[in-house]
Amino acid sequence: MKITLKIWRQKNRNTKGSFKMYALEHVSADMSFLEMLDVLNSDLIQKGEESIAFDHDCREGICGMCSLYINGRPHGPVQTTACQLHMRSFKDGQTITIEPWRASAFPVIKDLVVDRSAFDRIQQAGGYVSVNTGGVPDANEIPISKKIADEAFDAAACIGCGACVAACKNASAMLFVGAKVSQFALLPQGKPERKERVEKMVAQMDAEGFGACTNTGACEAECPKGISLTNIARMNREYFSSAISSYEVQSKGAD
């Protein structure tokens, strides 16, 4: 199959970028989207041109690195990661537009690569458990119902790719933060720090410049791991509960 690629090229975060057109022939329908970009880069290098920078690592839909905005959708027309998207999802002769994530909190580093370290800083603010839970046998002896365990695992499935931010018209990170808050808040090991955790993570999210939730559900619809909006609701409950608790403590102190 033959395709035309309209790709965003940008030298660095301090320069203005623009779209460049590329024609590619003999594309196999069985290629992954990233393999197709590899072929394009190989052609560019042979022509003495600079290759296109894009993020990738595991190429197994696990790491969340392949953050590409394809034809107006995060990761393309299928609800999966870009590395798991195959060229059979496109038609012969089709023009494919490829862009980096568009969010002020995710500045473009080069071409299709964005700086997603804002997610790391949110995680570092409170997305961990520091309480001593003992050895593995002791931790496993803590009774957890299957329903709660399943919900915690579902939240922990978030790979931090940023598709939720890219899909949201306000560039909100609440689905990501909600998932990271939920995976700990649901489990006994995470409850001792639940108040401090949600306050710090939400504060860091705001400090990074992410927008507010739009309640349109675009984040859940585009999430390659199907992270549920219920995690945002849980995060809000955790946050408001923490705020009320802090207010009551302050009120008693004032008395």
Mean pLDDT per 10-residue segment, the chain (255 residues)? 98 96 97 98 97 97 96 97 97 98 96 98 92 60 87 96 97 97 92 92 97 94 97 96 74 60
* pLDDT, position 130: 80
170 secondary structure, DSSP code: T
pTM: 0.91
CATH for 3-110 (3.90.1300.10, 3.40.50.720, 3.10.20.30, 3.40.1380.10): 3.10.20.30
* pLDDT, position 188: 87
- In the chain, where are the structural domains located? 3-110, 117-254
* pLDDT, position 143: 81
What are the backbone dihedrals phi and psi of residue 190, each rounded to the nearest 5 degrees, phi first?
-95, -10
**In the chain, count of helices (H) and strands (E)?**
9, 7
Class of domain 117-254: mainly alpha
* pLDDT, position 251: 62
Query: What single-letter amino acid sits at 89?
Result: S
What are the backbone dihedrals phi and psi of residue 195, each rounded to the nearest 5 degrees, phi first?
-65, -50
